[in-house]
Amino acid sequence: MEIKDRLKILRAELGLSQTKFADSISRSQNAVAQAETGSRNPSNNTIAEICRVHNVNEDWLRTGEGEMFKPKSTDLELAPLLGALLNKDTKHPEFKKRLIINMLEMDDSQWDVVEDFVTNLAETIKKETSE
């Protein structure tokens, strides 16, 4: 299997048309089509951009070795979520910030209390909304 085949497989896995895939990596649809037919090999810059934007394992894309996607880092996944949560345009941004700071300072016994509280709160809300 060649890189052109892996590009087609990747794009199908992502559920993107050639145009959408090209837009995502700032390339033309024609460049993607040429890479997928094998009439032109993607440049090193294009490969790097595909891997960066779509979290693709470069070894897999170039050689077929390894997994298609790189494992995601929990820290990298949390960063945008925390950013969105603390966005000044959301409701109660200062409370959310204080809550997160306090949570970071909690020990295991305090987490147990919070877990029990949240579980009970969720059950209460579920009962009240189903009545």
Q: What is the pTM of this model?
A: 0.56
What are the structural domain ranges in the chain?
Answer: 3-63, 74-130
pLDDT at 12: 94
pLDDT band at 93 (very low <50, low <70, confident <90, very high): confident
For the segment 88-113, the average pLDDT, to the nearest whole number, is: 85
Label each residue of 113-124 as H, E or C: HHHHHHHHHHHH
Q: How many CA atoms lie within 13 A of 131 on its CB side?
A: 6
- Hey, what's the torsion of the CAs at 113, 114, 117, 123, to 10 degrees? -130
- Rounded to whole angstroms, the Cα distance separating 44 from 123 reads 53
Percent of the chain residues topping a pLDDT of 90: 63
Spell out a b/e string for 3-18, using b for 16 or more CB atoms within 10 Å of the CB, else e. bbebbeebbeebebeb
For the segment 115-120, the average pLDDT, to the nearest whole number, is: 93
Q: How many CA atoms lie within 13 A of 102 on its CB side?
A: 9
Helix axes 74-85, 93-104, angle to 10 degrees: 140
Which of these ranges, 20-24, 28-32, 39-43, 81-85, has the smallest mean pLDDT? Answer: 81-85
Residue type, 25: I
> What would the pLDDT profile of 72-81 be if each residue is shown by its tens digit?
765 567 777 7
- CATH for 3-63 (1.10.150.20, 3.40.50.12780, 3.40.50.1820, 1.10.260.40): 1.10.260.40
Q: What is the CA radius of gyration of the chain?
A: 22
